[in-house]
């Protein structure tokens, strides 16, 4: 007997309730599929656009060792983008459609990558804070309900953990260095702290997708809960190396067992995600240029594949 849509919906809901993964060939509601394509493709774009602020320092890394480490990290980010694009393609969209959406401004990427990397200490701050925030979010996403996304997260988290440590280690060295180096580390923390908190998205009450995404277990913890976790784990790391978090309202709240912290500048967040941050135009221009420059590689691969098929 043919299954009705109601049967299929029930089977889908039962799987979600039982913590089973939804796999590419399973039936899923169209809105679930669309929501995943949105979040996963934006995640992939973030990884790839996120290579740019760090790429800015490759030619000026202070030592050969630092340069090798940074190169390896940036290549990892490219790899994360590739796993995530591949995982998104299992939902029936092509890489070309996803890239077009990015280029036409229909798809977002993480707001943080629209800030400039001005000094070498920014490379430390990006690893420590940006990868640190990303791990908090991605550990939670290892339990997301869509199988290919959850599995991509497992490997990505392992690599992000190395990225976070390399960033913190740069900050440790600078904070232990000369007065000028310590000031450079503090300045980087001052500029990257608030944008890092914005990575977790709007407050839960303002978050358009959260309620449905939590029901479908696409998201496992809320934007505000993850942000709190990041603050709680990062403040002692700053204290340990004598740096000051740039927030006068930051205070340990014994009753809650968490840090209280100041309010994010949500106008700035909205401006940046609407395309009006310091580097939005530069980031997209650079991505389009790199994509156009690589057109011959895609054409050669397509021609080779067609020839192989006809042999």
d(Cα 213, Cα 205) in Å, to the nearest integer? 14
215 vs 240, beta carbon nearer ligand BYC: 215
d(Cα 88, Cα 111) in Å, to the nearest integer? 21
Q: How far is the CB of 126 from ligand BYC (least distance, A)?
A: 6
Q: How far is the CB of 188 from ligand BYC (least distance, A)?
A: 14
Element housing 86 (H / E) = helix 64-89
Q: How far is the CB of 4 from ligand BYC (least distance, A)?
A: 30
Element housing 272 (H / E) = none
Q: How far is the CB of 3 from ligand BYC (least distance, A)?
A: 30
Q: Which residue is nearest to ligand BYC (CB)?
A: 50
Grouping H, G, I as helix, E, B as strand and the rest as coil, residue 85 is helix
DSSP-assigned letters across all residues of 46-75: HHHHTHHHHHTTGGG-SSHHHHHHHHHHHH
Q: How far is the CB of 131 from ligand BYC (least distance, A)?
A: 5
177 vs 275, beta carbon nearer ligand BYC: 275
Question: Smallest Cα–Cα separation from 146: which of 42, 33, 46?
Answer: 33
205 vs 305, beta carbon nearer ligand BYC: 205
Which distant-in-sequence residues (6+ apart) come within 8 Å of 237 by Cβ? Answer: 128, 168
d(Cα 240, Cα 190) in Å, to the nearest integer? 16
Q: 76's torsion region: left (phi>0), alpha (psi -120 to 50) or beta?
A: alpha
10 vs 75, beta carbon nearer ligand BYC: 75
209 vs 286, beta carbon nearer ligand BYC: 209
Q: How far is the CB of 1 from ligand BYC (least distance, A)?
A: 38
- φ/ψ (deg, to 5) at 106: -85, -20
244 vs 281, beta carbon nearer ligand BYC: 281
Q: How far is the CB of 176 from ligand BYC (least distance, A)?
A: 24
Tokens of 115: 């800030």
d(Cα 152, Cα 87) in Å, to the nearest integer? 8
88 vs 186, beta carbon nearer ligand BYC: 88
First to last CA, the chain: 44
Binding site for ligand BYC (CB under 6 A): 38-39, 42-43, 46-47, 50, 77, 108, 110-111, 126, 130-131, 134, 137, 198-202, 207-210, 213, 219, 223, 273
Q: How far is the CB of 299 from ligand BYC (least distance, A)?
A: 28
220 touches 145 (CB < 8 A): no
86 vs 253, beta carbon nearer ligand BYC: 86
Tokens of 69: 């480490």
Q: How far is the CB of 201 from ligand BYC (least distance, A)?
A: 3
d(Cα 29, Cα 175) in Å, to the nearest integer? 51
Across the strands, what pairs with 252? 259
């Amino acid at each position: 007997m043919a299954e009705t849509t109601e049967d299929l919906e029930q089977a889908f809901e039962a799987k979600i309730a039982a913590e089973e993964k939804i796999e590419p060939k399973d039936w899923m509601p169209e809105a679930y599929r669309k929501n995943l394509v949105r979040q996963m493709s934006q995640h992939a774009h973030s990884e790839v656009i996120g290579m740019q602020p760090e790429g800015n320092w490759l030619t000026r890394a202070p030592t050969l060792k630092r340069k090798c480490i940074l190169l390896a990290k940036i290549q990892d980010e490219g790899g994360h983008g590739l796993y995530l694009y591949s995982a998104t393609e299992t939902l029936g969209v092509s890489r070309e459609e996803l890239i077009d959406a990015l280029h036409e401004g229909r798809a977002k990427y993480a707001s943080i990558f629209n800030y400039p990397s001005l000094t070498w200490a920014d490379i430390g701050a990006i690893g420590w804070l940006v990868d640190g925030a990303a791990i908090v979010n991605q550990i939670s996403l290892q339990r997301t309900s869509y199988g290919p996304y959850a599995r991509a997260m497992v490997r990505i988290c392992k690599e992000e953990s190395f990225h976070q440590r390399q960033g913190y280690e740069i900050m440790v060295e600078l904070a232990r260095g000369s007065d000028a180096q310590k000031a450079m580390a503090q300045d980087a923390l001052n500029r990257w702290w608030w944008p890092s908190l914005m990575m977790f998205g709007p407050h839960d009450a303002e978050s358009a997708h959260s309620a449905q995404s939590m029901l479908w277990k696409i998201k496992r913890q809320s934007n505000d809960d993850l942000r709190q976790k990041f603050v709680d784990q990062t403040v002692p790391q700053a204290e340990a190396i004598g740096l000051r978090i740039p927030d006068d309202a930051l205070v340990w709240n014994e009753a809650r067992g968490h840090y209280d912290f100041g309010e994010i500048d949500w106008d700035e967040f909205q401006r940046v995600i609407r395309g009006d941050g310091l580097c939005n135009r530069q980031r997209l221009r650079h991505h389009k240029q790199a994509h156009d420059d690589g057109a011959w590689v895609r054409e050669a691969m397509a021609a080779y594949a067609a020839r192989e098929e006809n042999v």
